[in-house]
Amino acid sequence: MKASTLQYLTPRRLLLVSAVVALCTIALKTLAWQITGSVGLLSDAMESLVNLASALFALAMVTIAARPADHHHPYGHHKAEYFASGFEGLLIIVAALAICWAAVDRLLAPQPLTQVGWGLALSVASSVLNGLLAWVMFRVGKLHRSIALEADARHLVTDVWTSVGVVVGITLVHLSGWLWLDPVVAIGVALNILREGFHLIWRSSQGLMDEALEPEVLAVIEETLVGFASQQGETRIIRFDHLTSRKAGQRRFVDLHMHMPASWSLGRAAAVRASVEQALMGAVPGLRASIQLLPSDAEAYLGDQEEPI
């Protein structure tokens, strides 16, 4: 898929597509469950309901996150996407518990399956839809740095593996006649999506607690700063320290101190700072840099000691 096409597929547009696909897969999986009576396919259909609710909630959060900064939210609304990820994780956990409840009931009272071929065909068709959508969402999510989109894509991938497990389980039930295998597969599906639910909740909690930028992004920032420091010669007229960073949805923030000779005029110092900020924001998309100017012989006490850059 071309980059221009990915740029057109914004997170909001793709989440709308996700909601439509979720409705289609709900219809396919519900029909598959009704004609087969498989509790495994029922669990698959229930997870698709979670997909729909998650896509709609994520759509609302992405819309809020896109709002510009205002008087009450001077840093913007970007963290709204973390609520979408956390909400999706909670829905996944609820769905997993419901699947376990239905599976245990069927395990205690096994029932034969009917029209297995049609049920499996419908399940495979829905998995293909989810797999294609998840592939596109992963690429667009990384391009736009949208945690809500990536969370939805991860859930869709989980849904695909869920469907694969259900198809294999029902096939084994049909070939072996072991009716107990159907609810056992459903319980396995529930445990798998339960793990994914906890992962999404953990990831969203880390974002809400101002998690630092990724190590590879920090490496790019430090490399850019070292380049500026080395341009001034071996005496290191300019040095940087006390670098801190955080993520907020699609936005990245970095704060640091820049030390320079006290003899420099304010205009010259401000011009160099502007060059550094532009270089940083050019090297890391979505970055907002805040640099405090200090004379070379001054240190700001922040309760820790760091090596200068």
Dihedral pair phi/psi, residue 256, rounded to 5°: -160, 170
pLDDT value at residue 118: 77
Instruction: Give 293-301's long-range contacts (Cβ < 8 A, gap of 24+).
Output: 293/258, 293/260, 293/269, 294/257, 294/258, 294/259, 294/260, 295/259, 295/260, 295/261, 295/262, 296/237, 296/239, 296/259, 296/260, 296/261, 296/262, 297/262, 298/259, 300/242, 300/257
- Fold adopted by 215-295: Alpha-Beta Plaits (3.30.70)
| Domain residue ranges in the chain | 3-208, 215-295
pLDDT value at residue 286: 78
**Residue (of 82, 13, 11, 94) closest to 53 by Cα position:** 94
Q: Compute the distance between CA of residue 135 and CA of residue 157 in angstroms, rounded to an integer.
A: 9
pLDDT value at residue 309: 61
Q: Compute the distance between CA of residue 25 and CA of residue 240 in angstroms, rounded to an integer.
A: 53
pLDDT value at residue 302: 56
The model's pTM is 0.60
What is the per-residue pLDDT across 44-55, written as a single tens digit (0 to 9) for each? 777 777 778 778
Q: Compute the distance between CA of residue 175 and CA of residue 200 in angstroms, rounded to an integer.
A: 37
Q: Compute the distance between CA of residue 244 and CA of residue 233 in angstroms, rounded to an integer.
A: 26
Q: What is the CATH number of domain 3-208?
A: 1.20.1510.10
pLDDT value at residue 51: 75
pLDDT value at residue 8: 61
Helices (H) and strands (E) in the chain, counts: 9, 3
Mean pLDDT by 10 residues, the chain (309 residues): 58 82 85 78 74 80 80 78 77 77 73 72 83 84 74 76 74 76 76 79 76 86 83 66 82 88 88 90 86 82 55
Cα torsion through 55, 58, 63, 64, rounded to 10: 160
Q: Compute the distance between CA of residue 82 and CA of residue 156 in angstroms, rounded to an integer.
A: 18
Name every residue whose Cβ is closer than 8 Å to that of residue 253 and which is 6 or more positions away in sequence. 75, 245, 246, 247, 287, 288, 289, 290
Q: Compute the distance between CA of residue 5 and CA of residue 136 in angstroms, rounded to an integer.
A: 11
